[in-house]
Structure 1
């Protein structure tokens, strides 16, 4: 019976089959799910070592002093370099979060915007997405209030700390998702008029946004800005830009594949070799090109950070990595996304990253590792909320776990012994971050997600 229902879809033209989405359980793109999980782990590691980064900035490049544990890091160049590099991982993970969402949402919205009933359909879909975020925040807020009341006091618990400061990133994402249908409608019409003009406009906008953010980071006093401060909104704009840029990348990739310019995509329509010349995969759709660009960008970033360390200019890395203004993190995120999406047939996916059962190529049964990655990666929204609301619980635990190794690194006299204790310090911090991600994402998968499905807010 199920095969007879699918056969009419298979007889549709390719473009119509691509837009016909089946909401059944299908394998996700593993490379994208892996990237999503790496983003979660990167964000956790960033938050784990953020206090050390701030302490390094405050203490400065001074010799190791036994009663100042952080001096063991500031007195060791490689340790300072690693702490500074971890600072860029946070913005990278945040950009990845926005880019993966934009990559799948924007292209579909752009196609649907040319069809009748677009605004009514998007109003329902957007309301569901926003309700999912609000329900997630409400769910974990109730849990944290219960913990604060009956288990142990939660430091920094309160409406202002939680909902205005701690969750500001989640609210930015909610706002971007709410505005996505209007942005896609406009992008679709510019692309239909002249795709080259659209590409130029986005490129110019990217330069302007990061020039503005560079001005905020370098030409003004940086710090914690108020909620209505234009400099905070300038930083938020860079995440919205990542959402749009990734969406246009997805739109371009789908257009290239549906047009037969990618190897293996034109099928029988290329008959007699007529499509052979245009069937060659262009350079911008080859994963190894983006892999080389990723490596070059990372080496350049590492060299800049090393130069700052050698010259004792720690404030340079602070300004280069200030909140979401890091152009390095943005480029690294774009390269990472392109590596993930050019490794598979990403034109055959729904807006949530699931392959379309009618058009996806046959694939081997997913392994336990694949299933585990998909299960953990699905908890990214829940993790963002938990790591913000529960900061008063997990941060003290993490600091207590890492403190002995750092204290011993400052107390020992030899370089080899200090090297060993610093390695232990980094290892404990990374292990704690990974364990924290695993616990939160498993709980999210087993509790919150089934609850949202029961409430018809998720699939």
Structure 2
């Protein structure tokens, strides 16, 4: 058995930043919506520059999801293509795929069972029950789309192995452009039709995840083909450019009070802005030179980053418990504080990061226990 390749700590750190992004996004999700529709308690957040900050935060959910898929595509497509080039059989590829799927599906099933048991025996969790299904189906849409994409990775790798790089690149780019044309059309139509096309936008969110996975594979080709100095410069300049443009856009919309456009540009995972920001974020992380820092810090980053899916599942399953508490806290700040908007945003950001860290630690502990049990079982044989 070949030893596992060393992890890219910069990319693992990007996973953690994305976890923070998704946590902050979900904390402010209702707050942003309430601000956009003009609920009076949220009026302080509608002013410049606070609405711009909320608009940027509302991009983080899409950005984080795309980052997760791009990172997976960055590694899995190249790995699958190398295996095919090395003479891998369908049986061996399916075995590798089954192992990868197990790492995503088994923890998800575990947390679903824990949530169901808690809701049934200890204290009810709203919407988590045997006679309902949303909480483990569409409520975990991200997980199931991710699992389907991982399953398709072997075919993506086969295409990469058999076709020319130019053909693969042009095909992915063409499909990506088509998808975002559709996304833009649906966003425009939904804004004028009262959400009539929202179900199509949800479907396109899943399609966009798959495209993000494929773009991750293309970014691997870019970083592999360039020398490290040139790639590093490209990554830094690309991230800086897209980040500045995003901040300027959100600032302009905030200054003009165009909150409707903010909401339209950041709907779910169909946002072109978030997609571009995710791509350059991965390019930046992938082209950072490995630093010989503290090994314990690197180990902690890896341990927490591998808990990403566990975090997502736990956050989703318990959202009906923590979301009302967070929403009430933020609206109370807006009502009683002297500088409510700034305090609200800072408080929401802090509690989001603390909550995310707690969930990451829980799943990292679960993974550690599972590994210890496997090692003990192996020694006893």
**TM-score of the aligned structures, taking structure 1 as reference length:** 0.75
Query: Equivalent residues in 2 for 1:410-449 (5 A)?
Result: 417-418=338-339, 421-448=340-367
List aligned pairs for 1:329-344, cutoff 5 A.
329-344=274-289
**1:117 aligns to 2:82 (yes or no):** no
CA drift of 1:57 comes to 1.7
The worse-fitting range, judged by mean Cα deviation, of 363-372 and 36-45 is 363-372
Equivalent residue in structure 2 for 1:153, among 102, 113, 124: 124
Spell out the pairing of 1:197-216 with structure 2 (5 A cutoff).
Answer: 197-216=167-186
> 1:164: Cα distance to partner?
2.4
Aligned equivalents of 1:430, 1:22: Cα separation in 2: 39
CA distance in 2, matches of 1:371, 1:121: 30
SS at structure 1 position matched to 2:49: helix
Task: Give the 3 Å change call, closer, same or farther, for CA 453–303 of structure 1 in structure 2.
Answer: same
* TM superposition shift of 1:455: 6.1
Which deviates further from its counterpart, 123-132 or 294-303? 294-303
Give the match for residue 271 of structure 2: 326
State whether residues 186 and 200 of structure 2, in contact with CA within 8 Å, keep that contact through their aligned partners in structure 1.
Answer: no
| CA deviation map 1:216-242 (0-9, x unaligned) | 11124474878xx55432221111111
In structure 1, C-alpha distance between the alignment counterparts of 2:189 and 2:56, rounded to whole Å: 23
> How far apart in 2 are the matches of 1:128 and 1:453?
18
Counterpart-to-counterpart distance in 2, 1:388 and 1:448: 19
Whether the 8 Å contact between 1:106 and 1:180 is mirrored in structure 2 is: yes
**Structure 1 segment 129-140 matched on structure 2, within 5 A:** 129-140=100-111
Selected match of 2:318 from 361, 379, 390: 390
Residue 372 in structure 1 maps to residue 351 in structure 2: no
Instruction: Identify the residue that residue 71 of structure 1 maps to in structure 2.
Output: 43
Q: Secondary structure at the match of 1:77?
A: coil
Partner of 2:3 in structure 1? 22
Does the CA contact (< 8 Å) of 1:99 and 1:243 recur in 2? yes
- Write the distance in 1 (CA, Å) between the matches of 2:276 and 2:152: 24
Relative to structure 1, is the Cα distance of residues 162 and 224 closer, same or farther in structure 2, using a 3 angstrom cutoff?
farther
- 8 Å CA contact 1:106–1:251 kept in 2: the answer is no
The 1:198–1:165 alpha-carbon spacing in structure 2 relative to 1, beyond 3 Å, is closer
How far apart are 1:207 and its partner, in Å? 1.3
User: Is the aligned partner of 1:296 residue 2:269?
Assistant: no
CA distance in 1, matches of 2:153, 2:104: 15
Q: Is the 8 A contact 1:98 1:240 kept in 2?
A: yes
How far, CA to CA, are the matches of 2:140 and 2:368 in structure 1?
19
**Partners of 2:24 and 2:348 within 8 A in 1:** yes
**Residues 144-192 of structure 1: per-residue CA shift (max 9 Å, x gap):** 123223433212324322122210111111111111111211122112x
Structure 1 distance, partners of 2:178, 2:368, is: 39
* In 1, Cα distance between equivalents of 2:194 and 2:10: 36
**Structure 1 contact 41–434 (Cα < 8 Å) conserved:** yes
Distance 1:163 1:334 in 2: 29
- Select 1:166's aligned residue among 133, 136, 139: 139
Structure with larger Rg: 1
Moved more, 368-377 or 234-243: 368-377
Distance in 2, Cα, partners of 1:134 & 1:56 = 37
Alignment-derived partner of residue 9 in structure 1: none
* SS in structure 2 of the partner of residue 28 of structure 1: coil
Distance between the aligned counterparts of 1:167 and 1:441, measured in 2?
17
Q: Secondary structure at the match of 1:167?
A: helix
1:3-402 equivalences in 2 (<5 Å): 21-23=2-4, 27-59=6-38, 68-74=40-46, 76-158=47-129, 159-191=132-164, 195-220=165-190, 221=193, 223=195, 229-254=199-224, 256=225, 262=227, 281=229, 283=230, 285=231, 287-344=232-289, 364=292, 366-402=294-330
- Distance in 2, matches of 1:344 and 1:120, equals 37
The answer to whether the 8 A contact 2:223-2:286 is kept is no
How many residues are paired up? 371
Q: Could you tell me how far apart the structure 1 residues matched to 2:295 and 2:69 are?
A: 27
Q: Select the structure that is richer in helix.
A: 2
2:379 corresponds to? none
